[in-house]
Amino acid sequence: MQKYLKVFLDTLSDWVWEMDINGVHTYSNGAIAKILGYTPEEIVGMHVTEIWPEEMVTEASVAKFNREIKDGIPWQGFRGKFRHKDGSTITLESSGMPLYDEKNRLIGFRGVDRDIHETLRKEQQLEASRKRFQELSERFAWENNFKTLLLDIIAHDILNQVNVLSGLSELLLKESPEDERFQLINYSSHRLITVINSAATLAKITSGQEISKSELDLTTVLSEVIQDYQQPMKMAGIELVQHSTGPCTVRANPIISEIFKNYLDNALKYALEGNIIEVRAGKANNEVIIEIADQGKTIRKNDRVRIFKRGVQLDASKKGSGIGLAIVEQIAKAHQGKVGVRPNSPRGNVFYFKMDVH
């Protein structure tokens, strides 16, 4: 059995290792050769600090490591730097669990390290692209040349990198389908693709281009948006409640969800005085009506139309660019819909979206 286990471990791409309570390696599978350049025979008998980069081997760091080993403290998903046999530095993601003998005495650790060099490189590329996108957004704002650049960047820069990260996460999930870290990376990359596609659609809307539409149930769309906002609302002490009379099917583009996101973002910023936000969805007279009612400060009559104009911000103390509700109005127009706000009772506001059912 031990023979077959060793053969199996040597087929893995991750480095599986064991060390004693002194930090000396007592076992290594064959993956160490590909990851750090050592053979299993070379690594066995070597103290873990011997494969640390020289700048990391300080009296304090070694003492901390020894103390945690003696205390049997496990670790998971730790990203650390290691020295390759050729002298280069490699970043590995490490997890380790304590080993005990039959008398429950700590005898060492067993763990697995994964080379995440390629993952880090893709993350760095993605972050560089994100910064480039942000800088261009701030510089060109809503000018026509910005819209052209935005579409180009999305098509040829950011989206390419996100797709690489998404594909990589799919491969990692196939290897470790239960790993929550990979699940999160996969989920986040898919969400980011959605955000990027939404940005591309929004650029088309603001430039007057036609956008694709299909049958969507706005009740379902609203439920998904609400799910994302439940936690931040809870942290702000606000109860988020949804009322629906049934499906509200219309022809729309998924970008329509940005209307409801902006409404809820505004509620988080300006309606903290109340303790409940009601989201209502229904149909009346061949019209779908979505309402988000808060208990914040009631908007004055003269401002109820003005706040949907670009650059208008009623409370200068709040962070923002004053374009959120302008985006809402643009998206509504692209769907032949209407947006607005009216007073709530006894106080607050009801932001609404109305659209004909065809």
Domains in the chain, CATH or no CATH each: 2-115 (3.30.450.20), 118-206 (no CATH), 214-356 (3.30.565.10)
- Cβ proximity of 185 and 123 under 8 Å: no
Q: Note the pLDDT of residue 285.
A: 84
Q: Note the pLDDT of residue 133.
A: 76
Nearest-angstrom CA–CA distance, 252 and 258: 12
Q: Reduce the DSSP state of residue 255 to 3 states and report it.
A: helix
Q: Note the pLDDT of residue 160.
A: 66
Mean pLDDT by 10 residues, the chain (358 residues): 72 93 94 95 95 92 90 91 93 94 94 89 84 71 55 62 74 81 73 67 67 87 88 85 86 89 85 82 89 90 86 62 78 90 91 88
Q: Note the pLDDT of residue 144.
A: 56
Q: Note the pLDDT of residue 88.
A: 92
Nearest-angstrom CA–CA distance, 332 and 138: 24
Q: Note the pLDDT of residue 143.
A: 56
Q: Which of 160, 85, 102, 97 is nearest to 126 (CA)?
A: 160
Sheet holding 338-343, edge to edge: 239-244, 276-283, 287-293, 349-356, 338-343
At residue 228, φ and ψ (nearest 5 deg) are -70, -25
Sheet holding 106-115, edge to edge: 25-28, 15-20, 106-115, 89-100, 75-83
Burial class (CB in 10 A: 0-12, 13-18, 19+), 189: buried
Q: Note the pLDDT of residue 203.
A: 65
Q: Note the pLDDT of residue 138.
A: 67
Q: Note the pLDDT of residue 1.
A: 41
pLDDT tens readout for residues 241-283: 888 888 888 998 888 988 998 899 888 887 777 788 999 998 8
pTM score > 0.85 for this model?
A: no
- Token pair of 69, please? 């080993």
